[in-house]
Structure 1
Amino acid sequence: ADHLSALADAVLHLVMQEAWKATPSRHRDEPKVAVIGYGKLGGKELGYASDLDLVFLFEDDAPEAASVYARFVRRVISWLTVQTSSGKLYSVDTRLRPEGQDGLLVCSFEHFKRYQESTGGAWIWEHQALTRARFCAGDRQLGLAFERERTKILCRPRDIRSVQTAVVSMRRKILENRKNASGLFDLKRDRGGMLDVEFVIQTLVLTQACRYPELTHNLGNSALLDMSA
């Protein structure tokens, strides 16, 4: 999984380089865009059939930046997902971006920060997802800024009971919407499966990182469980 995740990072880096060269009206030599991996890519648990959960951020004051980067990101996604005679590189899911499907495909870093930090912005489940997020490719300085912001958000003091209630509610929705009719135990989604382990760890991070910031390190479920023992 580590090697497959590293391969995906390298592919993203290469595709971004070539896609930028092919982007019309580009206004700088290198794009000020960072690709943030969530889910299995973010947690370095990528499998052969895994899709890429991606969020695209930019930090650029040029007036044309937003429109240029929107074209650029659409090109990147197209190149990653196009079906060829040899198959396609990856499936891509961008629904974890701020405002989900209603949000911009690529958003400014300032907007991302406001959304994550504001009371009426990100939901608890979005902060759960942030526990497994990491910078994967693109502008390194922006990637480092994202990592600092991620740590700041995860280390924010939270009411433990409120977090537990929100996490349990989300888990129930998943169970209701993805019922297992096979009669066999689903190791990932059934009660007591891997998803429950992930939710326990994410709850631990969101409620205890304010006291133990080392929990924000994206080390994987096993390492975080060992640290918490």
Structure 2
Amino acid sequence: MHPFDLHGRRAVVTGAGRGLGQAIALGLARAGADLLLLGRPGSQSGTVEQVAGLGRDVVAVDLDVSDHDAVERVAAGINRDHRVDILVNNAGIIEREDSVDVSRHSWNRVLDVNLSGLFLLCQAFGRPMTERGHGKIVNVASLLSFQGGIRVASYAASKHGVAGITKALANEWAPLGVQVNAIAPGYMATDNTTALRTDPDRARSILERIPAGRWGEGADIAGAAVFLSSPAADYVNGHVLVVDGGWMAR
């Protein structure tokens, strides 16, 4: 089998309705994977249509990742009906605010999606993977898994946590045949960075630091996701793969 071939594998991708999640889903589908897309109601119909157009089996399942009871219920149903070989935890939110003004509700909302929901999904789908002795989990981290950022304390905390969970699970599950890794996207042209890209000063300062000279796109992340989901990454464990156009090198 070609080392990047995902035919015969089924992947769960969260937050695949647009942006990076959609790009990852399409990348996995082009590599041969069938897909289960988990996201908010009505948000993923466009992705379903595109994946089906590639000839892959695809099902969209409604799920708010911040609803932890629903996460456990939905995951149990999927595990009952399907063998999940790959889990990509992409769903995430960001709230920009001065740290002195962050409310408990805002803090909890970001952590509930980006960190707690992610861990529960890892746990729910990782359990049968470890029992079978095979599986791939790819978490979407961030450059703010390494840096503090500006006016995004809850997001930075959550993404530092994603890196930590990735390494902790890899330590436990690598001996059981399950690879757990993460992708840290750089500055990407998505909804999450609209405020930065429309601020002339911030946009200019960001681009000046990126050696590649451009904002990243979904396709830049899709290849990394395929690699970490494939047999080519069977000896990659607990790694946070930075895809940033060289930002961290400066």
Structure-2-length-normalised TM-score: 0.30
Bigger fraction of residues in strand = 2
Structure-1-length-normalised TM-score: 0.32
